[in-house]
Chain A
Amino acid sequence: MAELTHGFKIDGEKCSGCLSCMRVCPTHAIRVRDRKARYKPDHCIDCGVCLTACPWNAIGATTWSVEDLNRFKFKVAVPCPVLFGQFPPGIAPAMVVDGLLTLGFDAVWDYSVEIGLVARAIHEYVERWRGATPLISISCPVVVRLVQVSYPRMVDQLIPVQLPREIAGREVKRRFSAQLGLDEDEIAAIYITPCSAKTISILEPAEGAVSHLDGTLGISDVYNAILAYASLQKDEARKTSQRPIIRNSTFLQWHVSEGLGHLLAAHRYLRVTGLSNIIQVFDDIEKGRLRRVDFLEAYNCWSGCMAGNLTVANLYVTRSKLQALIGNLPEMDLETEAEIERRYPNEVFSLERPIRPRPIRGRTGSLRERVQMIQHAEAALASLPGLNCGLCGAPTCKELARDISMGDATKQDCVLLSKDRLRELQRAYLRRTQ
């Protein structure tokens, strides 16, 4: 099995060893040793909580820069709908599109057709499904990774229908290579992303296939340039040259209100946001307490993608802006509908490979040895104070016990059991004058 890579890097220079990230990590993927935080990569689900919690800005996400685009002959932006809700009133979607074009993109792709196609494919899949429920949307990559790492029993419930952004990337390459007589490799499909988790899902898709998208720029990477351009345009009262990019509200609805809910109205549907809520619901599914739900959509960020960690504007402002835009658009338009009808029978929408579990591979050795390890961990836990203070560098006593059983730590890392450890921390963390 390929090693689970994750998208965050800790800058050792900036990290103060303050434990903030370690304490908030929902999967206990961070340890602090020798005053520096480090990841246990196969525990990380790319939720980005650590990045937000770090007071020292020491944690960064893998992103592209605008310069990375230059190696392609033709560059197409595939913007997440959330982008259009980021700007102040008066900056219409067409201006945002023009802003992207001045940034160096040759075209901007509205993927409402792809959303329509995928919604139909999901609808068919849900209708046909006879296995365990609820089926779970793969829209949020953190949710997919959470299932792979922590709920391996539920991987078959992930809906193996490709995401609209991926279908858009495929179509962008097909369409423009035919139109311009270029190789597909010479055309870049760049997703404008609201969060770092989607970047990682494009660099490293959960199912182990290759993404149809070539890379990402964060909304925060393009925001200032678009805002500057659009403000200038407004001042000059210049009319935009673009035809309206967003023709119906389906595109903007995708991440706003009930997501897919209105498309699957006949099914028992649940939408959950926020990682702690998701974990609670997934635990209930595992315990068999959530029997009467057919379809579940879950997003790591509270309220969904509008609150992604690479967005700029306040979530509530974004939502209100998007709702205003949605109010002015028809739900569907004839042109989009005809395009969905034309393409649906001719394309494949399932994932190229199944999503498999990626259980944490912490223990090695025979079953007998692994049993001895968990017994060792239980014995170690019994001798630890149960304070969960984190000063050992593990988030809880239970995690320290687990680390001890695997030979990654010792009881002497506990400050209540070892005066040496306490003195060591005093030397490392107290700035002494003497």
Chain B
Amino acid sequence: MTEELLRRSFEVRGQDFENAGETSAEVTAILKDLEIDPDIILRVGVVTFEAEMNVVMYAEKATVTFILADDEIAVEVIDQGPGIPNIELAMQPGYSTASDEMREMGFGYGLGLPNIKKNSDAFVLESQVGKGTKVYSSIRLDPHG
């Protein structure tokens, strides 16, 4: 039975490139402090970072929630934004709607969502055009870790 041990929520604002990455840095710091296996930290870090960047690039704002349970770590991102019209297309590596400006900054290569999925043990993406997108990712923990 999964039991929740710790939950933290962070607000991320769209277009806030200056603070982009802070949420994943904070989540990583908590996991380091908890002495979680570095490979797990890496995966959670990638998931949180990519999800956060998607919010910064495309959405208005979002709440990123980090949930630590005794057997898994979950990251849930609920944004208010344009939504994704074609999820299947968005999941294809290399597909991107990023502007040239974003690419100039080194983002927008169409690898964000596939990267999140690749690093997750469970992954759910729901989106409503004109309202927003919800990304849920969870990563299993070794019960003795």
Contact = CB atoms under 8 A, between A and B. Distances in A.
Given A153-B42, A360-B35, A371-B6, A289 B21 contact: yes
Given A363-B35, A371-B5, A288 B49 contact: yes
A362 B44 CA distance: 22
A68 interface: no
B21 A374 contact: no
A359 B38 contact: yes
A286 B35 contact: no
A55 interface: no
A127 B114 CA distance: 25
A362 B33 CA distance: 9
Contacts of A291: 105-107
B41 interface: yes
Interface in B25-54: 25, 28, 30, 32-35, 38, 41-42, 45, 49, 53
A153 B38 contact: yes
Contacts of A292: 106
Interface in A314-332: none
A387 interface: no
Contacts of B42: 152-153
B68 interface: yes
17 contacts: A152-B42, A153-B28, A153-B41, A286-B25, A286-B28, A287-B20, A287-B22, A287-B49, A288-B20, A288-B24, A288-B49, A289-B20, A291-B106, A359-B38, A368-B5, A370-B35, A371-B5
B91 interface: no
Contacts of B28: 153, 286
Interface of B: 5-6, 20-22, 24-25, 28, 30, 32-35, 38, 41-42, 45, 49, 53, 68, 70, 105-107, 141, 145
B35 A362 contact: yes
A367 interface: yes
Contacts of A359: 32, 35, 38
A152 B68 CA distance: 20
A288 B47 CA distance: 12
Interface string A5-42: 00000000000000000000000000000000000000
Given A152-B42, A283-B25, A367-B70, 12 more contacts: A152-B32, A153-B45, A287-B49, A288-B53, A291-B107, A357-B38, A360-B35, A361-B35, A370-B34, A370-B35, A371-B68, A374-B34
A153 B28 CA distance: 10
Nearest to A286: B25
B41 A152 contact: yes
Interface in A347-373: 357, 359-363, 367-368, 370-371
Nearest to B17: A289
Contacts, number: 60
Interface string A101-122: 0000000000000000000000
Contacts of A288: 20-21, 24, 49, 53
Nearest to B45: A153
A287 B24 contact: yes
Contacts of B70: 367-368
Contact of B33 (A153, A367, A374): A374
Contact of B34 (A153, A283, A357, A371): A371
B21 A363 contact: no
Nearest to A156: B42
Interface in A276-309: 283, 286-289, 291-292
Contacts of A374: 6, 30, 33-34
Given A359-B32, A367-B34, A287 B21 contact: yes
Contacts of B145: 367
B48 to A, nearest CB: 10
A288 B107 CA distance: 10
B87 to A, nearest CB: 24
B83 to A, nearest CB: 24
B63 to A, nearest CB: 19
A286 B45 contact: yes
Interface string A252-292: 00000000000000000000000000000001001111011
Nearest to A362: B35
A190 B50 CA distance: 48
Contacts of A371: 5-6, 34, 68
Contacts of B6: 371, 374-375
A152 B45 CA distance: 12
B25 A363 contact: no
A116 B93 CA distance: 40
